[in-house]
Amino acid sequence: LWPFVRGGRAFELASPELRRAEVSDTFHGRDLFAPAAAHLARGVPPERFGPEVADPVKLQPPRVRHEGGAVVGEILHVDHFGNLISNLTVEDLPAVDRAMLKVSVAGRTLTGIQSTYANVGAGETL
């Protein structure tokens, strides 16, 4: 989300009273980020978590590529409904016939993209 934030700041999650007592090596979502989100939702100011990070590392999303007449993007996330979230934007696919779009994932190619779940039958890919 960082590329979309203007004037955002980052803080180290260092304050022991605002996180779990024991922090595992692998479950930072549970041990650090979930407690921080809960405290922020309760109105705790971000400055209470720890010192401000002056130069946070900003991850760059993969770039969309154009190869042989095709627009090539990458799947960034699969949500709990099975929706594929990619790095492609509407601007990357101007005036494209949705029925002609192909999505290749893990060696399987899906043809056509639907707008809603109601456009296909139960169990069909959309």
* pTM exceeding the 0.85 threshold for the entire prediction: no
| Gap between the Cα atoms of 41 and 38, Å rounded | 5
| Gap between the Cα atoms of 33 and 28, Å rounded | 6
Q: Which tens digit of pLDDT belongs to each residue from 82-125? A: 788 888 888 887 777 777 778 877 888 888 777 788 888 888 77
Q: Give the per-residue SS3 of the chain.
A: CHHHCCCCCEECCCCHHHCCCCCCCCCHHHHHHHHHHHHHHCCCCHHHHCCEECCCCCCCCCCCEEECCEEECCEEEECCCCCEEECCCHHHCCCCCHHHCEEEECCEEEECCCCCHHHCCCCCCC
Q: Which tens digit of pLDDT belongs to each residue from 43-89? A: 999 999 999 998 888 778 789 988 887 888 888 888 888 788 888 88
